[in-house]
Amino acid sequence: MQKNETSETMSALYLQGKVKFETLKQGTKSPAMKEILEQARKFSKSSDPILLIGETGTGKNMIAQAIHNERQLEGDPTEINCTGIPEQLWESELFGHKKGAFTNAYENKVGLAKIATNGTLFFDEIGELPLYTQAKLLRFIEQKRFYAIGSTEEQETNAHIVCATNKSLKELLDPQKFRTDLFYRLSLFIRIPSLRERKEDLDFLIGKFLDDVKEKTRKELAISEDVIEFFQKYSWPGNIRQLKHAIRYAVYSVSEGDTIKLNHLPPWLIETQVEEIKTQAEEVCEEENFSLDTAVRKHILKVLDITNGNVAKAARMLGKSEETIRQKRDQYKEQGLL
């Protein structure tokens, strides 16, 4: 896998706040992803708020940063994580407060809404906000005016608003979970595909993250075809972030000059894949009234497929003895199932 210049600079650009759409487009082979990035670039020209919808680890933060940079704003991007702030402190964090406004308010505090003036205000995981707080956020988005807690002086901001959530469209359209009026106010929404929907990007991303960690550790390493194939078949529920951590774990687990193999991958990665296969087999059997033996067979056959028929690897993944798996394999061969 060849070293890619984009792979070496992406992390550094993100840390420096310099990610741009051109760089993101160079980092994908997926036509759907390229189209989405172009849509986001067009939306960034509007002063309306933008909503990024995507599973955890799909790169919403990077796209938010690219939107900010595309607008060439004077101010910096300011992030407020909606999951990390208790509800009672949320208003203080966003709008600020006056000294003595409440217990422990020992000094004046400028809110993030004011700090973000001339820049971008990024609400990460907006779907986690309680409905009561969502109502206050809606008023703020519509008016761009607010009061610090304990103050009678109205303030305003011209910050461009970008929001992100890992909730699905179905969840966002459920009035029990998300205010309908807030959703429609965030009408410029972009759905970012999961990694399993853009498997054509896997080779690039594997090379990117491998190069990044090799540069830090100064290790010369290769990656086996078995691992590449495992990665291709894995569903990646944690998306790009999960892939990055899996490769980092493997690099630190292997010796200098060695090849990354299945046994170097994080145990949780193998375990979740096996559990996923087991669940799928059980669901199919339940739907079609298959027996438990059929569920076990489908489970073992799937793992043998992932390991290219390697009994030792399949046995490790399944937590069974090699002899047991070898007997099952031979049995399935005789039955014409393998």
- pLDDT of 14-37, one tens digit each? 555 788 999 899 888 889 899 999
> Does 145 share its domain with 273?
no
> Does 188 share its domain with 213?
no
Please report where in the chains the tokens 């086996």 appear, as a residue. Answer: 224
Distances (CA, A) of 223 to 204, 241, 250, 274, 335: 13, 19, 10, 21, 35
> Does 176 share its domain with 257?
no
pTM of the model: 0.76
Q: Is 17 helix (H, G, I), strand (E, B) or coil?
A: coil
pLDDT at 282 (0 to 100): 54
Final residue belonging to a domain, choices 137, 165, 193: 193
**Total domain count, the chain:** 2
- In angstroms, the CA 13 to CA 74 distance is 18
- Bridge-based pairing of strands 109-110 and 96-97 is antiparallel
> Does 172 share its domain with 270?
no
Final residue belonging to a domain, choices 193, 223, 245: 193
**DSSP annotation string for 74-98:** SSPEEEEETTSS-HHHHHHHHHEE-
Segment 92-104 mean pLDDT: 91
Q: Which residue has the higher pLDDT, 295 or 92?
A: 92
Segment 74-89 mean pLDDT: 86
Q: Domain range for residue 53?
A: 44-193
Segment 49-57 mean pLDDT: 95
Q: What is the mean pLDDT of the chain?
A: 85
Q: Is 49 helix (H, G, I), strand (E, B) or coil?
A: coil
pLDDT at 113 (0 to 100): 95
Distances (CA, A) of 43 to 31, 65, 96, 148, 194: 18, 13, 29, 31, 21
pLDDT at 6 (0 to 100): 45
Comparing CA positions, the residue from 24, 28, 104, 102 lying closest to residue 64 is 24
Q: What percent of the chain has pLDDT over 70?
A: 87
Please report where in the chains the tokens 């892939």 appear, as a residue. Answer: 243
> Does 54 share its domain with 173?
yes
Helix axes 5-16, 202-217, angle to 10 degrees: 70
Instruction: Give the helix/strand (H/E) hosting 315.
Output: helix 311-318
Q: What is the pLDDT of residues 283-327, one digit of tens each?
A: 555 555 455 567 677 778 877 877 778 888 778 777 678 888 888
